[in-house]
Amino acid sequence: MSIDGAYDTENIFAKILREEMPCVKVYEDENTLAFMDVFPQSRGHMLVIHKHEQARNLLDISSCGLKQIMKSVQKLARAANIALSPDGIIITQFNGGPAGQTVYHFHVHIIPKYHGGLKPHAQMGDNGDGMADRDELNMLATQIKSALITD
């Protein structure tokens, strides 16, 4: 899909927000929701989305919404650093299909980086059904939640 277009209210993240699809929640506040990526590139890979803005990408989101998301991204990156002790943390965001965007609801990836490579973005998992092991995602979410520092 192109970088331009109308917001699709049937995208997977909109369905997660309406609780029509499950997610392994890590953090939620008034404006943002963070959950484990079911196709993780690395152990502890999370996604952060805005709960109220119907923005497809960075070009669509309001400056206020962007500030709210980035505040949550920083909080979660700090928690992942404490809980998982990665060698580094990648913060990334894609705009349009040619740039790698696969879900057209603005979102930011928090990817703990360990020595060695990353799995490709948006690729199938290793357990046969294409998704990460839900028990492992729950365990990682619990570890990260326990390291969240309140403001």
Give the count of beta carbons closer than 10 Å to the beta carbon of residue 132.
22
pLDDT at 39 over 70: yes
| Catalytic residue positions, numbered | 107
Confidence of residue 129 (pLDDT cuts 50, 70, 90): low
Mean pLDDT across 129-135: 81
pLDDT at 123 over 90: no
pLDDT at 140 over 80: yes
If you average pLDDT over every residue of the chain, what do you get?
93
* Domain total in the chain: 1
Please report whether residue 33 resides in a domain: yes
**In the chain, pLDDT over 70 holds for what percent of residues?**
93
Q: What is the pLDDT of residue 130?
A: 59
Please report whether residue 61 resides in a domain: yes
CATH number for the domain harbouring residue 53: 3.30.428.10
Please report whether residue 141 resides in a domain: yes
Residue span of the structural domain in which 132 resides: 12-146
Please report whether residue 41 resides in a domain: yes
pLDDT at 119 over 60: yes
Distance CA 55, CA 49 (A): 10
> Are 11 and 105 a contacting pair, CB within 8 Å?
yes
Give the residue with greater pLDDT, 6 vs 124: 6
Please report whether residue 26 resides in a domain: yes
Please report whether residue 18 resides in a domain: yes
Instruction: Say which residue the tokens 């046969």 belong to.
Output: 128
